[in-house]
C-alpha cells in the first residue's frame, strides 16, 4: 500500500489571469518530484473583500501563496497577512516592477492585465467572483437561492474551476458536490430547474482523474475514491438526482472548461 504523504497546498492569487504566478510556481515545483502538491488558482482578485476570503481559506489549509499583484494595496495586504499568520509567501512581480522603475525612472501604471473600465459590468464581475468563492462546494446552502447558476456533480467534474470561469463572465455561481447517501439541501428543490446544471462524465475518465489525483497526493490509487464500483454508484446517484430535478445534464468528459461554460451560457440566453 502507498505510504500516506503530506499534501502541500499552493495558492496562486492574482488581480489578473494568474498565468505568470502559476507558471513560476509549477516550474519551481517541478524540481521536487517527490513533493505532493495541490495547486489552486484565484484569478481576477481585485478587491480587498475577495482577497480576504481567499487568504482566510489559505490560512485554514496552511497554503503557500504565490501572488502576481500589481495593485500595491492588495500586495501589501497579502504580505502582512502571511507574516501575521506565518504562511509562506512569494511575491512574483513586485521585485521585477521595482527593478524596471529604478532603471527607467518611470512609475508603474499598476494596471492588472489589460485596463478595465470601471463600469457596472466590471463591478458585477468582481461581485460574481466573490460569490463563487463564498458559495463553493455547498458551504452555505443559502447561496443556491441567490445564484444565477447552480452546478451539481460528483467529485472531479470541474465544478470549482467552471464556477470561477463563469464568475469572470459575470454570473453568480454556487456548486454542490454530490455524494451518495448524503442529504440534498432543501434549497436545491426551491431553485428554478433551468438554473441548475448537472455535470457528469464517463466512469473511465473519472477513474483516470481520481487515480492520478491519489498518486499525486502519495495515496493509494486503488482506494474506494477511485474504485470503479464506487464511481458507478456515484454517477448513478447523480444521474438519478438530475432526472428527479429535470435539469440539463452536461457530460464534461473531454470537454474544456470553456466548452462547458458556453453550453451553460447559451442555455440561459
Please write the tens of the pLDDT for every residue from 103-138.
998 887 766 654 444 556 767 888 898 899 899 999
- In DSSP terms, 176 is beta-bridged to 152
In order, the DSSP letters of 117-152 are P-SHHHHHHHHHHHHHHHTGGGS-THHHHH-SEEEE
Domains with residue ranges and CATH for the chain:
6-114 (3.40.50.2300), 118-266 (no CATH)
φ, ψ at 6 (rounded to 5°): -75, 135
Tell me if 157 is assigned to a ligand binding site: yes
**For a pLDDT cut of 70, what percent of the chain falls above it?**
93
| pLDDT for residue 67 | 95
In order, the DSSP letters of 39-93 are EEEE----SHHHHHHHHHHHHHHT-EEEEE--SHHHHHHHHHHHHHHT--EEESS
pTM value? 0.62
Please write the tens of the pLDDT for every residue from 55-81.
999 999 999 999 999 888 999 999 999
Please write the tens of the pLDDT for every residue from 202-255.
989 888 888 877 776 677 777 777 788 889 999 999 999 999 999 999 999 988
Alpha-carbon distance of 109 to 112, in angstroms, equals: 9
Tell me if 159 is assigned to a ligand binding site: yes
Tell me if 115 is assigned to a ligand binding site: no
Tell me if 193 is assigned to a ligand binding site: no
| pLDDT for residue 90 | 96
Tell me if 154 is assigned to a ligand binding site: yes
Tell me if 158 is assigned to a ligand binding site: yes
Amino acid at each position: 500500500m502507498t505510504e500516506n504523504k503530506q499534501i502541500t497546498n499552493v495558492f496562486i492569487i492574482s488581480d489578473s489571469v494568474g498565468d505568470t504566478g502559476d507558471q513560476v510556481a509549477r516550474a519551481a515545483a517541478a524540481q521536487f518530484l517527490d513533493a505532493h502538491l495541490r495547486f489552486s488558482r484565484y484569478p481576477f482578485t481585485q478587491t480587498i473583500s475577495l482577497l480576504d476570503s481567499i487568504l482566510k481559506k489559505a490560512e485554514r489549509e496552511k497554503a503557500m501563496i504565490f501572488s502576481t499583484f500589481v495593485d500595491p494595496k492588495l500586495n501589501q495586504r497579502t504580505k502582512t497577512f502571511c507574516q501575521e499568520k506565518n504562511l509562506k509567501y512569494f511575491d512574483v512581480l513586485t521585485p521585477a516592477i521595482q527593478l524596471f522603475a529604478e532603471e527607467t525612472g518611470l512609475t508603474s501604471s499598476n494596471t492588472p492585465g489589460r485596463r478595465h473600465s470601471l463600469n457596472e459590468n466590471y463591478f458585477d464581475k468582481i461581485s460574481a467572483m466573490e460569490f463563487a468563492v463564498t458559495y463553493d462546494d455547498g458551504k452555505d446552502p443559502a447561496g443556491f437561492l441567490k445564484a444565477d447558476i447552480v452546478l451539481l456533480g460528483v467529485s472531479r467534474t470541474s465544478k470549482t474551476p467552471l464556477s470561477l470561469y463563469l464568475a469572470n463572465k459575470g454570473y453568480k455561481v454556487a456548486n454542490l458536490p454530490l455524494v451518495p447517501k448524503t442529504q440534498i439541501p432543501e434549497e436545491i428543490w426551491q431553485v428554478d430547474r433551468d438554473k441548475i446544471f448537472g455535470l457528469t462524465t464517463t466512469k473511465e475518465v473519472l477513474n483516470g482523474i481520481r487515480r492520478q489525483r491519489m498518486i499525486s497526493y502519495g495515496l493509494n490509487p486503488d482506494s474506494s475514491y477511485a474504485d470503479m464500483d464506487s464511481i458507478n454508484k456515484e454517477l448513478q446517484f447523480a444521474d438519478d438526482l438530475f432526472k428527479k430535478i429535470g435539469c440539463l445534464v452536461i457530460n464534461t468528459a473531454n470537454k474544456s472548461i470553456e466548452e462547458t461554460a458556453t453550453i451553460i451560457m447559451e442555455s440561459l440566453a
